[in-house]
Structure 1
Amino acid sequence: MAVKEKKKGSQKKETGASGKKLRIKLVRSLVGRPRKQREVVRGLGLRRINSEVMRRDCPEVRGMVDKVSHLVNVEELDKK
């Protein structure tokens, strides 16, 4: 009986092949916003006003930013 080799780690597709990053900053309050919008902001890693995070430029992150574009500022950066 042959022994199969186990894969070490997962092979992730490189969606951000361009190497671009997004700087996302929360500029509006979450008070009074729908629960879904608060969850999206939290999913991006933002906690309070003026907090910033760096995320890779991929369709998933772009979709999240589009949902809360009225609450955040986004700046595209080239990876250096």
Structure 2
Amino acid sequence: MTNTAKSKLVVEQIKSPIGRPAVQRTTLISLGLNKLGRRAELADTPAIRGMIDKVAHLVRIVENA
């Protein structure tokens, strides 16, 4: 994985945070997601990757978006 200024990830929320710990709900909001089907284009950085790992069961990375 190369971290260039142009590398982006498109992340889509696929599950609801209802009944999940507050930390996971806050992480979704930090990623710019708060409703099902919403997509966010984010920089591909280690911090963003870590946030995605924390809520991997609620989101997916969209290919060729």
Report the TM-score, using the length of structure 2 for normalisation: 0.86
Q: Which runs of 4+ in 1 moved over 3 A?
A: none
Contact in 2 for aligned 1:27/1:50 (Cα 8 Å): yes
Superposition CA RMSD, Å: 1.5
> Structure 1: which 5+ residue stretches go unaligned?
1-15
Which residue of 56, 62, 65 corresponds with 1:75?
A: 62
Q: Residues of 2 paired with 1:36 and 1:27: CA distance?
A: 18
> Structure 2: which 5+ residue stretches go unaligned?
none
Alignment of 1:1-80 (within 5 A): 16-17=3-4, 19-75=6-62
**Percent of counterpart pairs with the same letter?**
37
- Higher alpha-carbon Rg: 1
Report the TM-score, using the length of structure 1 for normalisation: 0.71
Aligned residues: 62
